[in-house]
Amino acid sequence: MPISDRGAFRMRQQASEALLIHVGSRLRARRSLLNISIDELARSVGRSVVQLESFENGTNRINPMALYELAQQLNVTISYFYQSDVDAAPNQARNLVTNVATLRAPSQFARRS
């Protein structure tokens, strides 16, 4: 893999990890705001407490169906999890989402003209 591709890969990986942490922190914040225990939320969406903890810590990816179910139980839209916190560095979170959304595929997957 050429050096430029390694750098792009590393950048995508870091952005992906940061996004997982951001989504997890939004999940935890909403659950706490509604005063719902992690046990209650886990039961209501048919997931284990360990799995929800890993979502909240950003150590596991949340699949789209699980994110939808969590949004339904917490009375928010899916986009809520990607929004920035008003009180905590809104520009940083907005830039993170923008960076993840605009990352390009590595050159080996790019279309050749």
Mean pLDDT across 49-77:
94
pLDDT on residue 27:
95
DSSP code string of 3-21: HHHHHHHHHHHHHHHHHHH
Confidence of residue 19 (pLDDT cuts 50, 70, 90): confident
pLDDT on residue 110:
45
For residues 81 and 23, the answer to whether their CB atoms sit within 8 Å is: yes
> Could you tell me the residue ranges of all domains in the chain?
3-77
Confidence of residue 15 (pLDDT cuts 50, 70, 90): confident
Query: Percent of the chain scored above 70 by pLDDT?
Result: 71
Query: Percent of the chain scored above 90 by pLDDT?
Result: 50
Q: Which residue, chain included where needed, has tokens 């992906």?
A: 16
CATH placement of domain 3-77? 1.10.260.40
pTM above 0.75, yes or no: no
